[in-house]
Amino acid sequence: MAHALRLALAVFCLALPLSPAHSADGWHTAFEPARADAEARGTLLVLDLWAPWCHTCLSMQAEVLTPGLRAEHADRFTFVALDTDRPEHAGVIARYPPQVWPTFYVIDPVTGDVRGRWLGAASKAQFLAFLGEAQAAAGPDDPAGLARRADQKAAEGRLAEAESLYARALAAGPAAWTRRPDLRTAQITLRHKLGDHAECAELAAQALPEALAGATPSAADFVYYLHACVTALPRSPERAALLGHAAAGLEGVLAAEPSTLSVDDRSELLRVVRQLHLALGDAAAARDAAERQAALLAQAWGTGDAQTRMGHAWPRCEVHSHLGTLAALEPDLVALTEALPDAYDPAYRLAWARRGLGQLRDALAPAERAVSLAYGPRRVRARQLLADIQEGLGELAASRRTWQAVLTDLEALPARERPPGAEEAARKALGRWR
């Protein structure tokens, strides 16, 4: 049976077009060479599913999965990072789908079985504990074994089964289990995806203390889904109380000392705090959180290199848009676009900001640049932005051509990778001119 699984995995991998085996800093950047390397060396395979537009992805690579960490644990793990927008990785992504960005898998390189799955941000201590648990032996009904089975079911798209197994793992696990915060996040993401907002809110209320424990990055991810589930329900005193408890809890995470949170972690915590206050109707508290987030990101921008700044570009755009201060950000986005001429994301953010400022003529060139540099699902988003700008300028023939190109791009993408609503938006736009 193991031989058959091994053969099936080899055939699956040989069907994939290969990109260069390593990036400049030592990451494997193609799945099959990494899998073969892991098998030859007797290690597990750590798969990082990321994208250049994902600020948490860039932060995790810079702050947690550093060259030092990878070198220190190279005797136990082989690391591969796949840009999920690259078409050549579509086969791997179908087998190990990202639920959020980033998603990390630990994989047996021989059988292809999932030994662990991590969603979103983590502290270095959290991630090392996750790797250690993925490597350790675990019986099928041990807490770690149940979590492993849940991760496998989630990868297979069997979400209800996965959610049930996460619940069993948490019920069986010790109170001091370091995995409790991230497994609660994995559980609530599935409750949200399954669409039962009442059960999701019930879990949110029950598990909030565990999600906040240890003041880890998992707190923001858990409360993000808490907010999404609770605000989908009718207003009630209970709903307001839960949102208020969550906001106070995140402020406690931000204030905890010593802190292991990255700038990106703190920024995301403040963004979620703002959303909670907006849901509670407290505009002043929401603005305070936004101003703290903007100040944090401005300070980090001033001390980071261009790659680090790219990771902060979208959070800065979003919070300055909320504050009505996009104009103050525009010079920084111009400088970033010039510093990273081959990256699509800075040009996209600049075009987005200029459109928001009503500077449509000035937004046109960076939007066209973003389209020329982008690929995969992100090129669809870049074309949508360009089409909107062209239409706003009255260049209707050009906008129509761009929307037609959106449909062409979508047809070339697997259904699971098509940006939600993109086809509907394109057909609606084209229908206006028939």
314-335 residue pLDDT tens: 999 999 999 999 999 999 999 9
What pLDDT shows up at residue 26?
63
Specify if 80 maps to a domain.
yes
Rounded CA separation 59/261 (Å):
11
Q: Is residue 131 part of a domain?
A: yes
Name the one residue in this structure whose structure tokens are 């619940």.
Answer: 167
Q: In what order do the strands lie in the sheet with 44-50?
A: 77-83, 44-50, 103-107, 114-119
β-pair type (114-119, 77-83): unpaired
Q: Quick check: is 90 in a domain?
A: yes
pLDDT of residue 19: 38
pLDDT at 292 over 50: yes
Could you tell me the pLDDT band of residue 432, with boundaries at 50, 70 and 90?
Answer: confident
Torsion over CA: 192, 195, 199, 202 (sign): positive
Number of domains forming the structure of the chain: 1
Residue 353: inside a domain: no
Rounded to whole angstroms, the Cα distance separating 37 from 21 reads: 10
- Region 71-98: mean pLDDT is 96
- Whether residue 7 is predicted with pLDDT greater than 70 in this model: the reply is no
pLDDT grade for 11, boundaries at 50, 70 and 90: very low
**Residue 58 forms part of a structural domain:** yes
pLDDT at 25: 59
Is residue 147 a part of any domain in this protein? no
What pLDDT, on a 0 to 100 scale, did the predictor assign at position 176?
92
* Tokens found for residue 237: 């005193």
Q: Is residue 360 part of a domain?
A: no
Long-range contacts made by residues 97-102, C-beta under 8 angstroms, separation at least 24? 97/155, 97/157, 97/416, 98/49, 99/154, 99/189, 99/193, 100/189, 100/221, 101/49, 101/50, 101/51, 101/54, 101/56, 101/57, 102/48, 102/49, 102/50, 102/54, 102/56, 102/57, 102/60
Q: Does a structural domain hold residue 12?
A: yes
Supply the CATH number for residue 47's domain. 3.40.30.10
In sign, the C-alpha dihedral spanning 11, 12, 16, 21 is negative
Strand bridging mode 44-50 / 77-83:
parallel
179, 106, 169: which is closest to 142 by C-alpha?
A: 169
Of all residues in the chain, the percent with pLDDT exceeding 90 is: 93
CB-based contacts of 218, cutoff 8 Å, min separation 6: 120, 121, 122, 126, 181, 182, 184, 185, 211
Measured distance CA(65)–CA(372) in Å, rounded: 30
* Rounded Cα–Cα distance for residues 193 and 199 (Å): 12
What domain range includes position 132? Answer: 1-136
Average pLDDT, integer, range 229-247? 97
Alpha-carbon distance 291 to 18, whole Å?
45
- Side-chain-side CA neighbours of 93 within 13 Å: the count stands at 25
The predicted model gives 271-283 an average pLDDT of: 98
Distance CA 315, CA 54 (A): 10
Average pLDDT over all residues of the chain: 93
CB-CB contact of 85 with 50 (8 Å): no
